[in-house]
Chains A and B, each alone.
Chain A
Amino acid sequence: MAMPAAVSRSATPARWQDFVQLLKPRVMSLVVFTAITGLVCADRPIHPIHPILAAVAILCIAVGAGASGALNMWYDADIDSQMRRTRGRPVAAGRVQGADALALGVVLSLFSVMLLGMAVNWLAAGLLAFTILFYAVVYTMWLKRSTPQNIVIGGLAGALPPVIGWAAATGSTPLNAWLLCAIIFMWTPPHFWALSLYTSEDYAKAGVPMMPVSAGAASTRKQILIYSLLFTPLCLVPAFTGLGGVAYLAVAGLGGLVFLVLAWRVFKSRAGDAADPRQDDGLYDVKAAAKDARNLFAFSILYLSLLFATLLAEHLLDLPALSKVIP
């Protein structure tokens, strides 16, 4: 396994905000949101989890996600410094030393897993440890630099937080928990490939074999459509397994249709085909052909957020599942 190349050190001293940035707060917020959804959806009316322990569980999951982000930034500093989207990251920009990012990642990983295990249960802690290791070692150190399937397989790390939340609440991981995991897992390829269709130049420059770089834009557009055709029906399933209600079915169905239309437009477009004559600072200034890819990328975030928000709202408001409305 190759060690990351050294990144030149900036004259600016590291501020505490740089260390917060190492934890990828935006990714962390999505992880927290899906983990809360898993925790709340795990109905356990007889012995519900203590609210303080639930909050500790979510905090541990968030810190664990942040730790894997720090490990990712430590290892990928050489790649990050070559891409416009990531060159401002603390290690890539030289504001934080790689060794400090590594130390922060390892310490926070150990603390979050141990605290989750001792405070809540060891199934949730084990799943959190697996998630951190999978993201930092399997995805970051191995898959990302070696295969165009990197985000397909690596997407498992991002899909596990609702299962960890569910395990924290109940000590078990039933089919419905894994269904939430499967939805995020199947969402990841069309989401990331839509993004990579209009940032493929950066990935190519950094030597990351993202799908448009190694298989070409046309193949990527076709695979986006195939994954979308598998993903959108999967989103309907929770309505028939006692997890989602009428509102969920409506959001999943209507949103799924929009998702499919946008994926079809990407398939028919020429997104990612030609070199993109962008200005150096205009990261997302995409040309007309890539607009369809950008629309799908933006809608994919909205759609996943809506799905989980609807599930969360239905369970918080104690609305009946579809199977109880229509027996």
Chain B
Amino acid sequence: MSDPARETEGEARARRGRNIALALGLVLFVALVFVVTIVRLGANVAQQPF
């Protein structure tokens, strides 16, 4: 009988895939917030009276 605590190769591959997808999602979110901040700041600076 297989040990339930031991991860099979398929489970390990699936977990690795999920982790990579999550990491990419987080990186995308950080990049998105950065780009949005730059765009919004740029627009505010352009509208500022000098």
A15 touches B36 (CB 8 A): no
Number of contacting residues on B, CB 8 A? 16
A56 touches B14 (CB 8 A): no
CA of A53 to CA of B42 in the docked complex: distance in angstroms?
12
Judged by DSSP, the binding face of B is: helix
B10 touches A50 (CB 8 A): no
A50 touches B43 (CB 8 A): yes
The reply on A115 being an interface residue by CB < 8 A is: yes
A16 touches B20 (CB 8 A): yes
The reply on B40 being an interface residue by CB < 8 A is: yes
CA of A185 to CA of B14 in the docked complex: distance in angstroms?
40
Given the contacts A115-B33, A115-B36, A118-B36, A13 and B15 also touching, CB distance less than 8 Å? yes
CA of A53 to CA of B32 in the docked complex: distance in angstroms?
10
Name B18's contact: one of A15, A50, A52, A59 (CB within 8 Å).
A15
User: How many A-B contacts if CB must be within 8 Å?
Assistant: 36
Contact-size category for A: 10 to 19
**CB-CB < 8 A to A304: which residues of B?**
none
Residues from 5 to 26 in B contacting A, C-beta threshold 8 Å: 10-11, 14-15, 17-18, 20-21
23 A-B pairs within 8 Å (CB atoms) are namely: A13-B14, A13-B15, A14-B14, A15-B18, A16-B14, A16-B17, A16-B18, A16-B20, A16-B21, A19-B18, A19-B21, A50-B39, A52-B35, A52-B36, A53-B36, A53-B40, A56-B32, A56-B35, A56-B36, A111-B29, A115-B32, A119-B36, A119-B40
Sorted nearest first, the 6 A-B pairs with minimum C-beta distance are A16-B21, A13-B14, A119-B36, A13-B11, A16-B17, A15-B14
Known: A12-B10, A15-B18, A16-B18. 14 other contacts (CB 8 A): A13-B14, A13-B15, A14-B14, A14-B18, A15-B14, A15-B17, A16-B17, A16-B20, A19-B18, A52-B36, A53-B39, A53-B40, A115-B32, A115-B36
Q: Which residues of B contact A (CB under 8 A)?
A: 10-11, 14-15, 17-18, 20-21, 29, 32-33, 35-36, 39-40, 43
